[in-house]
Structure 1
Amino acid sequence: MRLVTYATPTGARPAAVVADDRLVDLGGIAASVTEVLSSGDALDAARAAVASADVATLPRIDAATLLAPVVPGKILCLGYNYRGHVPDGVDPTANDPEYPDVFVKTPNTLAGPNDAVVIPAGATDVDYEGEVAVVIGRRTHQVSMEDALDHVGGYTILNDVSDRAWQRRQSQWALGKCSDGFAPLGPWVVTPDEAPDPQDLLVEVVREGVVTVSQSTSTTIFSVAYVIHHLSQVLTLEPGDIVSTGTPQKLPAAQDAHRPLADGDAVTVRISGLGELTTRFISAQVVATQESAA
């Protein structure tokens, strides 16, 4: 299933997407997508509701206001996790780190799939990173690698927006990663039974019509199973938590033509089997002008 959270006059409600553009409301089954993912009974009931739905009577998804599909207690992200190109005959694993480089994005960074990201005043080098994000479905503590994927509730897309200038100012990355709205998420969570193999997904990013990133998750250093196992040795992962698995490097032409994100730019992250997440960027100055004119 593809599970979303959408806004209604009475509050946020979970739903499933069917026939590509219709919503099956699941608010009578669970209060949130996280609750659907973390309860076997709720998940079974949601599947039954989808199977029995009369598609012709369902509202269209474009008539709904999509919110972030889950509200995580923790957003844990990886730094370097994709191997780059190496010359023929060179061992591609030679420079692999022993352990993942883990950082956090704070709760204020969460944004919905249709929310514009505001470029903060004074930001000089805002950048994007398209990533496969894992949604935890079961409480996870010191899980083995063999059992780690059993704790996955589903997969979604995260744009790890970063202010490189702030990131370069210190050894810790928090101030470069945690501006308001710097973690657009969605548009939905794909449950594992309908998601492809997480180690065989094509991650692409398109900026203004140009593909700037294109690489398979088969080239990651640390698998989803390993990352969940590794993190759970230190902290308990709770249902709804997000583990974002890192971004591939930009293609050489995109690296050479790097330009910080600016007002009016749009970036689309598309991942095979998971869908697309398009994020628009707007400057803080434009927002301030709009608010003063309102």
Structure 2
Amino acid sequence: MIESTNRTLITNPKNIICIGLNYADHIEETSLARHDFPEIFMKTSNALASHQDIVPIQDENLHYDYEGELVIVIGKAGKNISREQARDHILGYTIGNDVSARSLQFRGSQWILGKSLDNFAPIGPTIVAPNDFDFESATITTTVNGEIRQQAKLEQMIFKPYDIIAFLSSYMTLQEGDIIFTGTPSGVVLGKNESKYSWLKPGDTVTVSISGIGTLENKFI
């Protein structure tokens, strides 16, 4: 289940769970409401992709955006997992890009369509076990064609990985192989002044790097 190539890390997760609005600066840049609980949405299984997989752009008018994120992979199923028990349920951490089609995301009240186009959930290139990952000091960086767009310390998360697992499992049973995207920092296209929007276009390459894990790279075609 743990691999370090561009092959699929997790082939058939029961759930792809996403946390939205988990960095204060991202909430500020998008002018969305902040809650005292995690914002939850889902991606469908067709969105799952790997390191170096192509993300197809079927219509530029859908306004494609990137969101670099730390991803938790659940290794042991559980319900009502306490924060203190959460580590025992984590197989490891990897990198994800919560690709979004903003025109679809905000067309209605639910985000799922704008988050679930084919290959909209690339993860990789490897999974790092909890004991081998220093969350407190790790930095995430997203680039588009080599230009840095996002950079933050993971410690800036409002809800940390153990908090997320405890919250989710209090309502739903987490399954082995479930993938949890933990939220993105500021720097997404949506967060810019509307006159400066520069949505992803065919030929763009997006990389997401997390110190201690590696770099996830995907090209948009």
The TM-score normalised by the length of structure 1 is 0.68
Residues 276 and 177 of structure 1, relative CA distance in 2, 3 Å threshold: same
Cα distance in structure 1, aligned partners of 2:106 and 2:34: 23
Partner of 2:201: 262
Match of 1:236 among 163, 173, 176: 173
Partner of 2:144: 207
Alpha-carbon RMSD: 2.1
Shift of the alpha carbon at 1:114? Answer: 1.6
Code of the aligned partner of 1:260: W
Which structure has the higher relative contact order (CA within 8 Å, separation 6+)? 2
Write out aligned runs for 1:58-97 (5 A): 66-71=6-11, 72-84=13-25, 97=35
Runs (5+) with no aligned partner, structure 1: 5-16, 18-60, 86-94, 283-294
Partner of 2:127: 189
Cα distance in structure 2, aligned partners of 1:165 and 1:96: 22
The TM-score normalised by the length of structure 2 is 0.89
Partner of 2:216: 277
Partner of 1:110: 48
Write out aligned runs for 1:22-171 (5 A): 66-71=6-11, 72-84=13-25, 97-121=35-59, 123-171=61-109
The percentage of counterpart residues that share the same residue type is 39
Residues 113 and 251 of structure 1, relative CA distance in 2, 3 Å threshold: closer
- In 2, are the aligned partners of 1:3 and 1:69 still within 8 Å (CA)? yes
Which of the two has higher C-alpha Rg? 1
List 4+ stretches of structure 1 deviating above 4 A: none
Cα distance in structure 2, aligned partners of 1:148 and 1:265: 37
Cα distance in structure 1, aligned partners of 2:51 and 2:104: 25
Code of the aligned partner of 1:135: V
Deviations 1:206-261 (A, max 9, x none): 11121110111111110100100000011111111101100001089x83543111
Code of the aligned partner of 1:223: K
Partner of 2:29: none
Partner of 1:3: 2
Runs (5+) with no aligned partner, structure 2: 27-32
- In 1, are the aligned partners of 2:67 and 2:188 still within 8 Å (CA)? no
Cα distance in structure 2, aligned partners of 1:223 and 1:140: 18
